Structure 1
Amino acid sequence: MTLILGISAYYHDSAVALIQDGHPIAAASEERFSRKKHDASFPTLALKACLDHANVRIADIDYVGFYEKPLLKFDRLLETYLAYAPRGYRSFARAMPDWLQTKLHLPREIRKELGGDYRRRIVFCEHHQSHAASAFFPSPFPKAAILTIDGVGEWATTCWGIGSDHRFDLKQEIRFPHSLGLLYSAFTYFCGFRVNSGEYKLMGLAPYGKPRFASLFHEELVTLFDDGSYRLNMDFFDFCHKLRMTGRRLERLLGVPRRLPDTPVREVDMDIAASIQSVTEDIVLRMAGYVHQQTGLDSLCMAGGVALNCVSNGRLLREGPFKHIWVQPAAGDAGGALGIAWSIWHQMLGNHRVPCTQDSQQGSFLGPAIDQQNEIEALLHQGATAKHYTTEKELCSHVANLIANGHVVGWAQGRMEFGPRSLGNRSILGDPRNPEMQTTMNLKIKYRESFRPFAPSVLRERAHDHFQVEPNSDQPYMLFTSFVNPEKRIEQDQSFVGVERVRHPRSDLPAITHLDYSARVQTVDPERHPRYHALITEFYHQTGCPVLINTSFNVRGEPIVQSAADAYRCFMATEMDVLVVGDHVFLKENQPEAMRKTSEHYLSALEPD
């Protein structure tokens, strides 16, 4: 038995992953335990939780891997600072202490964090190799093309390669500062959202606008070549040498100033979002076409932050040359922890791989499970009240009825998801038929912008009844958008303008249908999601609708909930009506007022994302 620990830390979304004889047994991000969104510190709490879940000790670990090479990254930082000197001194001065104290001494730091119990080898892997491993090794393909796209690792920002059996080989790369991820983040910043967390908002805003700047972006900002490679015009971007992404020159090009955070979204912001989304899709399609031409393969694996752009993925699946696409559910830096662990097992140790046609990542339910007995008992001891259900059928029947009657339900079950999506174990659920539900859940429960769309969870066997997907299409990770079937659509009222358009129904499932009739579909099956499938099935039997709204169980500025206590606090601090933890149902009207005040105090201390 070989136990491998993968670590992603110190830059963004620290995480750990445990792989035993090639099979993932636990993986989790530090933010879920520290309750600090995008926590970049060493994942001490996540490591303890994963070890406890797997019932192993640090002394049992055979190999430790880190998801990138810090010295190579430091080389890039120094060369960049020198190239722009004396500009960029403030950025240089801010970054260097952390590098000199910690990041240049990672073997020492990792051993210290592991408590001195680990005395074996620490393996370092290049950033995009970790991404590639995380994409190919859990995929169902014996051989596939690989495409990784993000902001930047050490030097690489985009890579493509080929995976076969238990090995992969990266063939070509695009290097910093030319980065599709940083280009998208630059416009995230320009439109007033926070970099590394606001990209989802930009993607969600895009359908409200018209891509009227797309041709300008192609002419002035990014040159796209026939082979899918690209170059940015760095005269318009400041991320190499300043503590900001863009400056005055881009404002002059677009004819508007950058939107400041927490100010109203302008129509021009919608058009900018639509334009950069269009350009991003163009680049991804061109790259994929080149990779297909070079490899001749029908299957593609993807990872890196840009692979979380489900709109781009959906278009690639519909219009691109690949018949099959598999995207790592934790496609960002956190997934690098899985990638380095798999890379050690297959690439370094040479262990063969048997592709799993079902799902070798187990629905990405790799986090620790809720300890129902102890965690519920602790809540009840504090004064919470709940009803316990002895059968799953009774529980699902009651909860489905509550949702059908307009209640919003917090749903916390079993093992936590690994990755940025709630996939049915740490979710907030609602009725997608309710035309007011999108606005209600955004403003009164999630405390976020009203324009942001919600995803549908649909019974896999019924997905094609509502969405333009193949019968029994398997899309469990919310990584592709599909369109609502034409017969389900409602013609839009043109009298609404701006974000107010969200209030007009666009289909018979208005709460999950975006302005362009798209939806970020999650198919739910009884193998990966037994209880969640049972709940949606019961809702279908009661209402004739096999779909639920599924959004992450958190509020703006907070990581997705991990424990029953996290779930209860979020439930009490919002206008959520019902909380279901395991077999217990908590009704808001039955909870003590003192618990609400404590939870609201926690909520007020959160930083906006």
Structure 2
Amino acid sequence: MPQPSRQHDGAMNVLGLSFGFHDAAAALVVDGRVVAAGQEERFTRRKHDAGFPAKAVEFCLRQGGVKISEIDRVVFHEDTGLKFDRLARSALSRGRGGIAFLSKACQHWVSDGKFFPKALISERLGLPRRRISSTRHHAAHAASAFFCSPFDRAVVLTIDGIGEEETFTVSIGEGTRLTKIAAVRFPHSLGLFYSAFTSYLGFEVNEGEYKVMGMAGFGEPVCWKELFALFDLSRPLDFRLRQEWFNFYDPEDHMYSGAMVDRFGPARVPETPFALGCAAGSVLSPENRRFADLAASVQRATEEVMLGLVRQAVERTGARRVCLAGGVALNSVANARIQSELGVEIYVHPAAGDSGCAVGAALGAAFAGTDRAHSPRTPLDHAYLGPEFSPAEVRAALEVAGIRRYRTYDDSAALVDTVAERLARHRVIGWMQGREEWGPRALGNRSILASPATAAMQALVNEKIKFREPFRPFAPSILMEHAAECFACPAELSPHAPECFMLAVRAATAAARARMPAVVHADGSSRVHTVRRDSNPLFYDLIAQFHRRTGIPALLNTSFNLRGQPVVGAPADAIETFGYSGIDTLVMGSYLIDKEDLV
């Protein structure tokens, strides 16, 4: 890595960028440490915003106290030349229809500046091109997982839909070095397999995969072996996916073929009602049962493929520590099975999807050509990397919204006591505190919170507050020391365990099913979020106070947003969401506003 060419404070400042497909983001790394990261959608309020992350860059620089002129290197998350080469080869293989598709793709690439991302970045940031470089998409994924992990040595797997041409890679991470040892290329893709069935089941690709996981909890995996047989895993660290059920070459059409419809029947129409009574044991219509069973089968087959690939990687390398990234690594059921059944320690980057490539691109460049003694790594033991807002900014937002009635608390203990009392009375709280989370999971700083004590709360939050599908489950945020009592978690969890980032699903105990039914899914599982006082003291104290009042050491926690909207980014967003939803009380920093205060 070249040394800084200008005189500043001596720090090496690297800016990572991910944009052009979905979930654009920026991240700032200073001397190998991630100091800020943000997703553009949180600033622009456009869900999955793919555009140049100008506002995210502005935030990162401000948070890090760095001027754009002090950036030593800007790194883009993919090689667009390789990506277009794959698109062109795929299109031309389809004959006349492919040529039409390629022509349209070229127009989009020109208008969006995708052919020359370095020129676009140089123009938007006002930096010379010599400071701008690019990496490979899966290399960025791998760097985000390994360099943020606490492991000195690990095997690193990246699994997604597709990067430039790779869909799966295996690398060895040692110190500050990553060495790729295996890769699978398009069209053989576990991520695209899952997305094709996401489309078939009536959900939006790159948005609805987690809905398939939720639907799976109502079904039985009756045909998982048939789906698993589509994958040939006979060669170590490699796989092939039979293509007859899929249509990966025309992204503007369905990702599934007529053969899939012939086998499983008509696809689900989007927005079709599903499982309006979502308690365990609910009776589904025959049609909904068909879809739920298929979702369960897709999920199980995906888990088995992931287990097989990780098992092969562990056997090949001898590593007992595993790092995961790529969109498929957000499959929290598979993550828990990898831990439990393979007996390995795993780390999953909290923003495992494409946004996380901004962090990986920057870290990869920061550690290029270094050794561990020269550039010690800083493990990421929390995900609070986004913006926070001062009391003055919160008050200004309240004034702009015309809200004159509110309470303020100088003592955080008094605030926690007040909110815990309301939660115990089954009030729903909008909770905005500290720095925003990095990644798709709300981890207690941009959260909607409620008591998990009644099953009715799950239906209420889905229907009246989030306005989303009634079958969607909610997560428990539970005090770390009580997790093993309520869920099938390891007795001791490291600060980097997937449970700390809401990235592992665990079976609920009988006691948990009885005491907190609102956070136990129809199949008896929960996507667990363990809370440590040293990582989020205010949120920990709130759960602890609720525990003292109710005997329940957990809260229902879901992201602070309405269906189809990004998680709230600024106080104005929180106020707007509060006004449009059934949330009873909004808490922003030390300010507490009741719904009655809006009148």
Report the TM range for the smaller structure's normalisation. Answer: over 0.9
Q: Which residue of 2 aligns with 1:395?
A: 415
- State the AA in 2 paired with 1:270: A
Q: Which residue of 2 aligns with 1:500?
A: none
Cα distance, 1:484–1:159 mapped onto 2, change above 3 Å? same
Distance between the aligned counterparts of 2:139 and 2:205, measured in 1? Answer: 24
Contact 2:388-2:435 at 8 Å conserved across structures: yes
From 145, 161, 173, the counterpart of 1:163: 173
Q: Where do 1:413-452 residues align within 5 Å?
A: 413-452=433-472
Contact 1:459-1:546 at 8 Å conserved across structures: yes
Q: Which residue of 1 aligns with 2:296?
A: 274
Q: Which residue of 2 aligns with 1:314?
A: 336
Q: Which residue of 1 aligns with 2:306?
A: 284
Contact 1:61-1:118 at 8 Å conserved across structures: no
Distance between the aligned counterparts of 2:53 and 2:437, measured in 1? Answer: 16
Cα distance, 1:382–1:161 mapped onto 2, change above 3 Å? closer
More deviation in 157-166 or 242-251? 242-251
Distance between the aligned counterparts of 2:559 and 2:212, measured in 1? Answer: 18
Residue 89 of structure 1 deviates from its aligned partner by: 4.3
Residue 86 of structure 1 deviates from its aligned partner by: 2.0
Contact 1:406-1:434 at 8 Å conserved across structures: no
Contact 1:84-1:241 at 8 Å conserved across structures: no
Q: Which residue of 2 aligns with 1:110?
A: 121
Distance between the aligned counterparts of 2:118 and 2:153, measured in 1? Answer: 34
From 71, 77, 96, the counterpart of 1:61: 71
- State the AA in 2 paired with 1:200: Y
Cα distance, 1:242–1:455 mapped onto 2, change above 3 Å? closer
Residue 558 of structure 1 deviates from its aligned partner by: 0.2
Percent sequence identity over aligned pairs: 41
Q: Which residue of 1 aligns with 2:554?
A: 547
Residue 350 of structure 1 deviates from its aligned partner by: 4.9
Distance between the aligned counterparts of 1:42 and 1:390, measured in 2? Answer: 40
Residue 242 of structure 1 deviates from its aligned partner by: 5.0
From 182, 185, 188, the counterpart of 2:192: 182
Distance between the aligned counterparts of 1:535 and 1:406, measured in 2? Answer: 15
Distance between the aligned counterparts of 1:442 and 1:166, measured in 2? Answer: 44
Contact 1:292-1:321 at 8 Å conserved across structures: no
Contact 1:189-1:245 at 8 Å conserved across structures: yes
Cα distance, 1:382–1:452 mapped onto 2, change above 3 Å? closer
Q: Which residue of 2 aligns with 1:589?
A: 596
Distance between the aligned counterparts of 2:382 and 2:571, measured in 1? Answer: 21
Q: Which residue of 2 aligns with 1:521?
A: 528
- State the AA in 2 paired with 1:342: L
Contact 2:182-2:238 at 8 Å conserved across structures: no
Deviations 1:21-78 (A, max 9, x none): 1111110000000000000000011111221222221111011101111101111111
Aligned partner of residue 96 in structure 2, secondary structure: coil
Q: Which residue of 2 aligns with 1:596?
A: none
Residue 172 of structure 1 deviates from its aligned partner by: 0.5
From 349, 366, 389, the counterpart of 1:370: 389
Q: Which residue of 1 aligns with 2:367?
A: 346
Q: Does 1:13 find its partner at 2:6?
A: no
Aligned partner of residue 423 in structure 1, secondary structure: coil
Considering only aligned residues, what root-mean-square deviation do their CA atoms show, in Å?
A: 1.5
Distance between the aligned counterparts of 1:79 and 1:528, measured in 2? Answer: 48
Contact 1:90-1:242 at 8 Å conserved across structures: no
Distance between the aligned counterparts of 2:419 and 2:467, measured in 1? Answer: 24
Distance between the aligned counterparts of 1:226 and 1:488, measured in 2? Answer: 44
Q: Which residue of 2 aligns with 1:198?
A: 208
More deviation in 388-397 or 541-550? 541-550
More deviation in 300-309 or 99-108? 99-108
Distance between the aligned counterparts of 1:348 and 1:328, measured in 2? Answer: 23
Distance between the aligned counterparts of 2:100 and 2:371, measured in 1? Answer: 45
Q: Does 1:488 find its partner at 2:511?
A: yes
Residue 225 of structure 1 deviates from its aligned partner by: 2.4
From 541, 544, 551, the counterpart of 1:534: 541
Q: Which residue of 2 aligns with 1:561?
A: 568
Distance between the aligned counterparts of 1:571 and 1:210, measured in 2? Answer: 38
Distance between the aligned counterparts of 2:483 and 2:550, measured in 1? Answer: 16
Residue 90 of structure 1 deviates from its aligned partner by: 4.8
Distance between the aligned counterparts of 1:19 and 1:120, measured in 2? Answer: 19
Q: Does 1:336 find its partner at 2:343?
A: no
Distance between the aligned counterparts of 1:466 and 1:292, measured in 2? Answer: 30
Deviations 1:87-106 (A, max 9, x none): 33453333211223411111
Q: Where do 1:253-268 residues align within 5 Å?
A: 253-254=263-264, 256-265=265-274, 266-268=288-290
From 97, 100, 105, the counterpart of 2:110: 100
Aligned partner of residue 300 in structure 1, secondary structure: strand
Distance between the aligned counterparts of 1:228 and 1:117, measured in 2? Answer: 41
From 230, 238, 253, the counterpart of 2:247: 238
Contact 1:327-1:479 at 8 Å conserved across structures: yes
Deviations 1:396-437 (A, max 9, x none): 000000011010100000111111111110000010112211
Q: Does 1:302 find its partner at 2:324?
A: yes
Contact 1:4-1:18 at 8 Å conserved across structures: yes
Contact 1:536-1:548 at 8 Å conserved across structures: yes
Deviations 1:150-173 (A, max 9, x none): 000011100111100010101000
Q: Which residue of 2 aligns with 1:597?
A: none
- So what's the TM-score if we normalise by structure 1? 0.91
Contact 2:501-2:529 at 8 Å conserved across structures: yes
Contact 1:14-1:29 at 8 Å conserved across structures: yes
Q: Which residue of 1 aligns with 2:221?
A: 211
From 452, 466, 474, the counterpart of 2:486: 466
Cα distance, 1:62–1:242 mapped onto 2, change above 3 Å? closer
- State the AA in 2 paired with 1:564: P
Residue 119 of structure 1 deviates from its aligned partner by: 5.5
Distance between the aligned counterparts of 2:451 and 2:560, measured in 1? Answer: 16
Distance between the aligned counterparts of 2:552 and 2:187, measured in 1? Answer: 48
More deviation in 313-322 or 325-334? 313-322
Q: Does 1:224 find its partner at 2:224?
A: no
More deviation in 303-312 or 81-90? 81-90
Residue 562 of structure 1 deviates from its aligned partner by: 0.6
Q: Where do 1:42-61 residues align within 5 Å?
A: 42-61=52-71
Q: Which residue of 1 aligns with 2:131?
A: 121
Q: Does 1:379 find its partner at 2:398?
A: yes
Q: How many residues align?
A: 568
- State the AA in 1 paired with 2:116: H
Contact 1:288-1:321 at 8 Å conserved across structures: no
Aligned partner of residue 154 in structure 2, secondary structure: strand
Aligned partner of residue 181 in structure 1, secondary structure: helix
Residue 354 of structure 1 deviates from its aligned partner by: 3.6
Deviations 1:473-495 (A, max 9, x none): 2431001111112x416xxxxxx
Aligned partner of residue 452 in structure 2, secondary structure: coil
Q: Which residue of 1 aligns with 2:424?
A: 404
Residue 118 of structure 1 deviates from its aligned partner by: 4.8
- State the AA in 1 paired with 2:157: L
Residue 545 of structure 1 deviates from its aligned partner by: 1.1
Aligned partner of residue 523 in structure 2, secondary structure: coil
- So what's the TM-score if we normalise by structure 2? 0.92
Distance between the aligned counterparts of 2:183 and 2:82, measured in 1? Answer: 15
- State the AA in 1 paired with 2:215: L
Q: Which residue of 1 aligns with 2:284?
A: none
Distance between the aligned counterparts of 1:241 and 1:450, measured in 2? Answer: 32
Aligned partner of residue 21 in structure 2, secondary structure: coil
Aligned partner of residue 557 in structure 1, secondary structure: coil
5+ residue gaps, structure 1, are 490-505, 593-609
